[in-house]
Structure 1
Amino acid sequence: MASLYFTYSAMNAGKSTSLLQVAHNYEERQQHVLLMTPALDDRAGKGRIASRLGIGRDAVSFTHRTDLAAVVRARYMQQAIDCVLIDEAQFLSEEQVWQLSSLADTDNIPVMCYGIRTDAFGNAFPGSAVLLAIADKLVEMKTICHCGRKATMSLRVDEQGNAIRMGQQIAIGGNDRYVSCCRKHWKEAMGLR
């Protein structure tokens, strides 16, 4: 039976790089993968997954309204799919996570999701919360804070590097907008005890 995986971390731990490596590994064995990414994350271009290392691949883009199971099943009719890889999984809706679980449970297609757990204000993203609750396998990728501790939080910063303490849950950005840090230093930057 196939599984639903959630690989999570703070920003800048190498999740997209890992996803692209997994795709390469499947394809080296003449297996077919379907890469998917949210349309709202267009940093590398719409429908493209890219890592900070400079590697990237085209992917199927989706919105929060897309029925992911229907998309995968339609593509499966054209060509067998051995694995579905989802980048920026925090942007999945709760319903989409359940759709992906159906692909693993009913269609026997492994689904590997990569994303962050919490937003810049310490709140769980809806997609991540459901993945943490129902994924068969959870994998934490690690990155480090400036102090050397494990970074578990993503701090949103302005152009001067100052913490942004309130705002929208979703603000697309990379190293220019986010800094990975441990909870202690995130709390200090956010003015929390």
Structure 2
Amino acid sequence: MAKLYFHYSSMNAGKSTALLQADHNYIERGMKALLFTAKLDDREGSGVISSRIGIKKNAIPFSADDNLYEIIHDYHVKNNLGCILVDEAQFLSRHQVEELAKTVDHLGIPVLTYGIRTDFKGEVFEGSKFLMAWADEIREIKTICHCGKKATMNARVTASGVMETAGEQIEIGGNERYISLCRRCFSSGTTGVSF
């Protein structure tokens, strides 16, 4: 039975790596997967899912106004899809989360989404909020804080390693701008690093 999955974590926990491994597993079994990633995350180029361990794969870039159900339906009619994989799922709109649930319920295709739960202020992203509400299964991918505890928060840092507490919710960046912290280190502003 198909399900909607939300795999979440803080930054640098291996979400994209896990997605690419899932894609490989489907391919190895002779099944086709359709991959999506947020259009606004163009660090490796538009429509590229890239892991920190060096694996990359092309994907369909989505923006908030794209109808994912229609895109998936059209591909499914031609290709008999085995699964849908969505990277950067925090950037999905509420409507797109509903479209992914419809994909599971009406087309019978499993949908595996991967994203971060909260932004650098500790506030939930729209896509993550609705995935937490609508997903059939929610799974945490774990990583660690510099202090050794489980990291659950994302901190945006300056070039000197100081936490930022104000700014736009969305600013694309990698290890040079974001670090994963436990709640205690996040609350105290202890980043444990300097760049």
Q: Does 1:68 align with 2:68?
A: yes
Q: 1-side partners of 2:106 and 2:34: how far apart?
A: 17
RMSD: 0.8
> 1:80 matched to which residue of 2?
80
Identity percentage over the alignment? 51
Say which SS state the counterpart of residue 54 (structure 2) adopts.
coil
Post-superposition shift, 1:148? 0.3
TM-score (norm 1): 0.97
Post-superposition shift, 1:134? 1.2
Post-superposition shift, 1:44? 1.1
Q: Which runs of 4+ in 1 moved over 6 A?
A: none
Q: 2-side partners of 1:44 and 1:136: how far apart?
A: 31
User: Which digits, 9 at most, give the CA deviation of each residue in 1:45-97, with x for residues without a partner?
Assistant: 10000000000100011110000000000111221111000000000001000
Q: 1-side partners of 2:74 and 2:40: how far apart?
A: 23
Q: 1-side partners of 2:49 and 2:93: how far apart?
A: 19
> 2:148 matched to which residue of 1?
148
Alignment of 1:1-193 (within 5 A): 1-189=1-189
Unaligned runs of 5+ in 2: 191-195
User: Which digits, 9 at most, give the CA deviation of each residue in 1:119-153, with x for residues without a partner?
Assistant: 00000001100000110001000000000000000
Say which SS state the counterpart of residue 5 (structure 1) adopts.
strand
TM-score (norm 2): 0.96
One-letter identity of the residue aligned with 2:123: N
Q: 1-side partners of 2:34 and 2:134: how far apart?
A: 21
Compare 73-82 and 25-34 and name the one that shifted more: 73-82
Q: 2-side partners of 1:71 and 1:106: how far apart?
A: 14
Q: 1-side partners of 2:74 and 2:38: how far apart?
A: 18
One-letter identity of the residue aligned with 1:71: I
Post-superposition shift, 1:116? 0.4
Say which SS state the counterpart of residue 143 (structure 2) adopts.
coil
Say which SS state the counterpart of residue 98 (structure 2) adopts.
helix
Q: 1-side partners of 2:44 and 2:97: how far apart?
A: 24
Say which SS state the counterpart of residue 27 (structure 1) adopts.
helix
Q: 2-side partners of 1:44 and 1:105: how far apart?
A: 33
Post-superposition shift, 1:28? 0.3
Q: 1-side partners of 2:134 and 2:70: how far apart?
A: 20
Unaligned runs of 5+ in 1: none
**Alignment size in residue pairs:** 190
